Amino acid sequence: MKLKKFQYPIWSSIKSYSIITLGLFINALAWTAFILPSEIVGGGVTGLSALVFYATGFPVGVTFFLINIVLIIIGIKSLGLPFGIRTIYGTIVISVFLSVLQQYITEPFVSDRFMATIIGGMMGGASVGLVFSQGGSTGGTDIIAMIINKYRNISPGKLILYMDVLIISSSYLLFQSVEILVYGFVFMAVASYSIDMVLMGHRQSVQMFIFSKEHELIAEQIANEIGRGVTLINGKGWYSKSESCILMVVVRRHESNLIFRTIKRIDPEAFISISNVMGVYGKGFDPIRY
């Protein structure tokens, strides 16, 4: 009896929103525990909200929420209603996290401003990448970056970095400090790198060549249980002169462990070759961009 891979959309949605919520909490913690108490200005709408807070004392969460209303409307028109729902959810949740955490965290977790910049940038960037990987957004310039990334294969981290230069530079008008300005750019550079690292890990794919006498059973298990396509290639061993069949499979890196376990269960003596690929486009992977 063949076992088919069943999908559980409700569980998948709950898992996705849980990851998004975790990412939003980490992002809010990065700002309230490291960036805001150290008077560092980052980019995006959060950075703009921080400038308003430094100048007037108006809560960051409230300013963040108000500015994002307009950007969310634009995002829904370009990226569709599912994106809009997750972005509205993300905007509300992170606004609440920022408002609540800012009330209870008044001192930075580390006293050194440089360390606060690095740790805050790593946490902030990784959390945004985590949210992006689930199709969500933290709002602000993230929305613009995702719209451009939908049609052009340009790094979201770099797009956000470019758009945030003006916001960070404007901090000089408020503080008249080159030091704070530099810390702001260091924060965004670290955050941009962290975003790309998380997204690359999520999207990275590998190509596998599988040599086994049990190729038919392995192919059936990969197709039915893991849900990935398999290509059968006819080959011939040069030394043995015997005919053989080779399976070629392209999967996400995190799925390769499932392939290995399947092969080991069926044929522990199988020969496997695996290599990284620059990009995979088409059904089941990234859409083809022009």
Model confidence pLDDT, tens digit, residues 9-22: 576 678 788 888 99
Q: What is the pLDDT of residue 100?
A: 93
Indicate if 269 and 135 belong to the same structural domain: no
Indicate if 195 and 243 belong to the same structural domain: no
Indicate if 153 and 16 belong to the same structural domain: yes
Indicate if 156 and 224 belong to the same structural domain: no
Indicate if 170 and 141 belong to the same structural domain: yes
- CA distances 227 to 4, 48, 76, Å, are 9, 44, 31
Indicate if 82 and 194 belong to the same structural domain: yes
- Does residue 290 lie within any of the structural domains? no
Task: Quote the CA–CA distance of 163 and 192 in Å, as a whole number.
Answer: 12
* Cβ contacts of 224-232, under 8 Å, gap ≥ 24: 224/2, 224/3, 224/4, 224/5, 225/3, 225/5, 225/262, 226/5, 226/251, 226/255, 226/258, 226/259, 226/262, 227/5, 228/255, 228/284, 229/284
Answer with the one of 187, 202, 217 that is the final residue of a domain.
202
Q: DSSP state, 240?
A: T
Task: Quote the CA–CA distance of 52 and 166 in Å, as a whole number.
Answer: 15
Indicate if 39 and 171 belong to the same structural domain: yes
Indicate if 142 and 32 belong to the same structural domain: yes
Burial of 259 (0-12, 13-18, 19+ CB in 10 A): buried
pLDDT by residue for the chain (290 residues), tens only, comes to 344 444 445 766 787 888 889 999 999 999 999 999 988 998 888 999 999 999 998 999 999 999 888 888 877 777 776 666 777 888 899 999 999 999 888 777 888 999 999 999 999 989 988 887 777 777 777 677 777 777 777 766 677 777 788 899 988 888 888 999 999 999 988 988 888 788 776 667 788 899 988 888 998 888 887 778 888 888 877 787 788 888 998 888 777 778 888 888 888 888 888 888 766 676 666 666 54
Burial of 18 (0-12, 13-18, 19+ CB in 10 A): exposed
- Does residue 92 lie within any of the structural domains? yes
Residue 235 belongs to domain spanning:
205-277
- Does residue 282 lie within any of the structural domains? no
The total of structural domains in the chain comes to 2
Indicate if 217 and 156 belong to the same structural domain: no
Indicate if 218 and 90 belong to the same structural domain: no
Q: What is the pLDDT of residue 11?
A: 66
Indicate if 145 and 264 belong to the same structural domain: no
- Does residue 177 lie within any of the structural domains? yes
Indicate if 113 and 242 belong to the same structural domain: no
- Does residue 53 lie within any of the structural domains? yes
Residues in the chain: 290
Q: What is the pLDDT of residue 98?
A: 93
